[in-house]
Amino acid sequence: MVHHFNIALLSLFIPTFLFVSATPGMCMTLSLTLGMTIGVRRTMWMMLGELVGVALVSIAAVIGVAAVMLNYPFIYIGLKFGGGAYLTFLGIQLWRSLGKMALQQVGGEVVEVSRFTLILQGFVTAIANPKGWAFMISLLPPFIDSDLPLKPQLSLLVLIILVIEFACLLLYAGGGKTLRRFLKQSGNVRMMNRVAGTLMIGVGFWLMAG
């Protein structure tokens, strides 16, 4: 199976994508925010949707489906503005200490957000992220060796992307959980909701403006 891969290209790809994935961006900020408000375990449902979205964007970037998205921009624009508006709405609710994700002064626990909502939130954020598309279109093709079979190369690259992305999402969600613990200890639950709300609104505007 080794002859199906260019080891030199792989050795360059891993640190390159690790750096890009670990850099704060839309999906990482969302993971941090959710880690802060609903905890790491439930944030994993958002991660599931995000990883599916990232996988689809990666594959589409290599096989040329990105061109279809460019030819039908209304689909892309609808995803961007719909997803961005929804995240902004959630952020405003958090700012007002309302909604299912806001921590309450009494008890400190949240009403559970549905798994489907979290999965959809992650998925839309990943596939409607213009910077994600631009990155995958520019980064992935150079790491594909045209002299070798495409399928095993693409499969391995996508697997590497998902493992690195998941690790970074967990790291950011854990940071949010730590921040939540710190703010709860100081008794400033409202401040925590406002920090999380500001981040969520930022992600929403980022999505719509990209």
H-helix segments, 144-188: 150-185
End-to-end CA distance of the chain: 40
Query: Residues 6 or more apart from 194 whose CB is under 8 A from it?
Result: 94, 95
Q: Is 202 left (phi over 0), alpha (psi -120 to 50) or beta?
A: alpha
pTM confidence score: 0.75
pLDDT in tens, 153-203: 888 889 999 999 999 999 999 988 887 777 666 566 677 777 777 877 887
The greatest distance separating any two alpha carbons of the chain, rounded to the nearest whole angstrom, comes to 62
pLDDT in tens, 104-122: 554 444 456 788 989 998 9
- For the chain, the 3-state helix, strand and coil shares in percent, each to the nearest 5, are 80, 0, 20
Count up the domains in the chain and report the number. 1
- Structural domain boundaries, residue 25: 2-209
